[in-house]
Structure 1
């Protein structure tokens, strides 16, 4: 494996509200190597998107703030980096595909203007060169009539086309790291497959590392090299995709996999993990999954387990593996 391009160590991102501190991300550690695709998986509200916004330096302050840990990109700690420095990195070395393309694209500017702006800010290209680069990127992500699309507005495009535009926008300056936050949500299955194929091709051709945030284990199995499973602000399991899907060690991961419908099995009712994800402001002592875990012991409700080795390159945060 090549050198890590991104290293997150004990990241703590809290939100300060009238009801007190809300630990949205609590002691998260991750690393992504050059050219690797890492999947970050978990239910809604577990802290995946807050982790990505922390990397980008886009946590709204107030009420949010990174209160601890480090985010090292190519050796440089981005925690505490000034806004001027982050603007040079964002869109240039680290790019992000946001969850909802309709709200992420500016409705009053043409597609070409929005891609050209990123190119001109980071490469000092001329207006003409930036437009040519915009057309080139639209073609690269498989958009037909690219020369005409550059002069159209977001509302004139379908959801799948807008998502392709978001990828073109993110890749315009050949970033070293691409963060994709639920890039296939709300798209139909055929468009989802095309978007995943496109991201895989960009990763292969450009060597861009990708952090793919999703709740869909099928997407992870399709595209990722490694996967980290997140629950209530913590990483509870991490390893290569084959190991995690074939031999999951944490009860939460086992529950996620068991809840996937299988074509060869006929069941009256699909499996679901009992209970609900705790809200970040109401976390109990001990393992955060304990109230929903069918294998919970007394120790689980008192003491938080650490991430420990569950196999070669396989980590799990569970007392059953300690």
Structure 2
């Protein structure tokens, strides 16, 4: 039986209003996450991954940012229609987030214990402080931190990067959220600690049945952790499929380039492959495929028309005219030219 769709993002557009005009950082994207699923969003820096997560959390800095279109449905409740007061009741309780850098996410002026206890008491008004402290200690133990009682008295600067990230995971899971957003949770951690954090997230996902939205630029992390993956480029979703399909049969030239860029220890090469050029500045490409300036397969049509998403199979979609030539079925959607 198919799992229920916990999160449904429909036609989401998040725009930043700057001195240079409107800049769509997230450009009319659609995706969903099932209950208990781990979904990955992958792409280079500047493609819109983090803005997507901030939009779901209602944390887009305003001004200059604003959600200008679409719905974000969590258990069929549209988060874009909630007031800030209502949204504060959702954050932490129903949806929680692990940010990229735990040192800047934890308050350096308060102990680990104070910050964990506060997170519990905000969503459990009748709970005693002693009960909250015990719950926090148990969660620290659950995420694999030794001497949990002593850690409650420590300040963030007294912990290593891996320990701080485990504290952030513990804080995010304290109220048993339905959805956990992890925005590059292993950035700046060494390979050993990264592997431990990813293993921990998978174990907690199984234990609590918490859905996870994992944002990363590392395809190795995606292969190790996720069930499905979304590839983003310049604010758009350019490919969506199961992890197995993405690696075995990538359809979009950008996805193929990302996979080719991953070092393969089985073969000796003098030079690693790299995608030519850079991610375009948001809003700089007004028509055509946004990957066309970097694509070896680009045609005249790619420069003038923005391709829709094509279905190569029920679970595999890609935004490329090459799929039309292969018999892919185009999905009806608004293009840049028609908006």
Identify the TM-score tier after normalising by the shorter chain.
Answer: over 0.9
Runs of 4+ aligned residues of structure 1 deviating over 6 Å after TM superposition are none
CA drift of 1:283 comes to 1.9
Q: Does 1:292 align with 2:298?
A: no
Q: Report the equivalent of 2:174.
A: 172
Helix, strand or coil for the counterpart of 1:281?
coil
What is the distance in 1 between the residues matched to 2:41 and 2:293? 23
Number of the residue aligned with 2:117: 116
Task: Confirm whether residue 160 of structure 1 aligns to residue 162 of structure 2.
Answer: yes
Q: Unaligned regions of 5+ residues in structure 1, if any? A: none
Aligned to 2:269: 267
- Could you say which residue in structure 2 is the equivalent of 1:5? 6
**Residue matched to 1:137:** 139
Paired position in structure 1 for 2:31: 30
Tell me the alpha carbon deviations over residues 92-121 of structure 1, each in whole angstroms, 9 at most, x when there is no partner.
110000010000000000001111111001
Instruction: Give the RMSD, CA atoms, in angstroms.
Output: 0.7
Structure 2: gaps of 5 or more residues: 325-339
- 1:46 equivalent to 2:47? Answer yes
Following superposition, the deviation at residue 284 of structure 1 comes to 3.8
Deviation at 1:271, TM superposition (A): 0.3
- Cα offsets for 1:119-159 (capped at 9, x unmatched): 00101221101111110110000000000000100000000
Q: Distance in 2 between matches of 1:117 and 1:241?
A: 38
Tell me how far apart the structure 2 counterparts of residues 30 and 113 of structure 1 sit (CA, whole Å): 37
Aligned to 1:279: 281
Scaled by the length of structure 2, the TM-score of the pair is 0.94
Q: Report how many residues are paired.
A: 322
TM-score normalized by the length of structure 1: 0.99
In structure 2, what is the Cα distance between the partners aligned to 1:183 and 1:5? 22
Matched position secondary structure for 2:250 = coil
Query: C-alpha distance in 2, partners of 1:207/1:268?
Result: 45
Tell me by how many angstroms 1:299 deviates.
0.6
The structural deviation recorded for 1:302 is: 0.7
Within 2, Cα distance between the matches of 1:218 and 1:194? 14
Residues of 2 paired with 1:281 and 1:29: CA distance?
19
Q: Which residue of 1 aligns with 2:216?
A: 214
Displacement of 1:282 after TM fit? 1.2
Q: How far apart, CA to CA, are the structure 1 residues paired with 2:250 and 2:128?
A: 52
